[in-house]
Chains A and B, each alone.
Chain A
């Protein structure tokens, strides 16, 4: 039997960004829940601790986001190619991939997408990651920065509609991110084994599967 071929899909900076980001965002969600609902959620010793940890995690996520941006935009210079879906992706790819996730995966059919370093995401992943990394993350970071600097950025806060609107927007965006996270983690476990797609995100190397060639995390 031929040994399984391995592809180097996730370079070191992407892996460092991803796991700092994942750890940071889980921390942000948990501490954010306590800050928002202090009467019901008391996971950390006190309100003050939750706020301090939330602000620190926000800073780590922002720094790691910059690493992601710098790597794809300046070093690899393939950000748009990797993250923006093509016309074909939008016209046929998304439907084909949705059919796989909703139906044919459960019938044991192979994944229609075969990842390569230059085309590692299927059309649904591209669309989801594009929305998360280019819209949701910048917006949530922006509202977070405004909330931690209300007095120096007072005019901007008023321009947006005031503190209440800002708090509501930050919370709603966080809910969207939370929804993405659950879907993302669920789809990340749909490999041959539950860790088959998570391991490559840690080591960088993905083993090509004999029947299912792709990783459906989105």
Chain B
């Protein structure tokens, strides 16, 4: 194959609207819902990642509170002696 024919073929491939027509045909099968869900998923990810430190602090606080309320046998033994 000559260089000229390769260039002509590539040109035809890139410039012809066939690829666009194919893309359009794909679109008719509708990927719109998928795109919207992907977008909303990314938004949810942003919110979850940003809220993670808050949730962890709240979790730590609750754990601290629960620990404080539980009886501490070792400390008791130390004061008994």
B20 adjacent to chain A (CB < 8 Å): yes
B46 adjacent to chain A (CB < 8 Å): yes
Choose, from B6-14, B33-41, B62-70, B71-79, the stretch at the interface.
B33-41
- How many whole Å from A119's CB to the nearest CB in chain B? 24
**The one of A16, A48, A49, A56 that contacts B40, using a Cβ cutoff of 8 Å:** A56
Query: Chain B: interface residue count, which band?
Result: 20 to 34
Contacts A46-B32, A48-B27 given; does A12 touch B51 at CB 8 Å: yes
A19 with B23: CB separation less than 8 A: no
Q: Which residues of B contact A15 (CB under 8 A)?
A: 50
The majority secondary structure among interface residues of chain B is: helix
Query: Chain A: interface residue count, which band?
Result: 20 to 34
B32 with A23: CB separation less than 8 A: no
Give the residue name and chain of the A residue nearest to B28 (CB): A46
A16 with B27: CB separation less than 8 A: no
Q: Which residues of B contact A145 (CB under 8 A)?
A: none
A186 adjacent to chain B (CB < 8 Å): no
**The one of A23, A42, A47, A56 that contacts B36, using a Cβ cutoff of 8 Å:** A56
Closest 6 CB pairs of A and B: A46-B27, A49-B32, A45-B27, A52-B32, A45-B31, A19-B46
Can you list 5 A-B pairs, Cβ within 8 angstroms, ordered by A?
A: A19-B50, A45-B26, A45-B31, A48-B27, A52-B32
Show the binding face of B for A, using Cβ within 8 Å.
20, 23-24, 26-28, 30-33, 35-36, 39-40, 42-43, 46-47, 50-51, 53-54
Told that A45-B27, A46-B30 touch, could you supply 7 new A-B pairs with CB distance under 8 A?
A: A20-B46, A45-B26, A46-B23, A53-B36, A56-B36, A60-B39, A60-B40
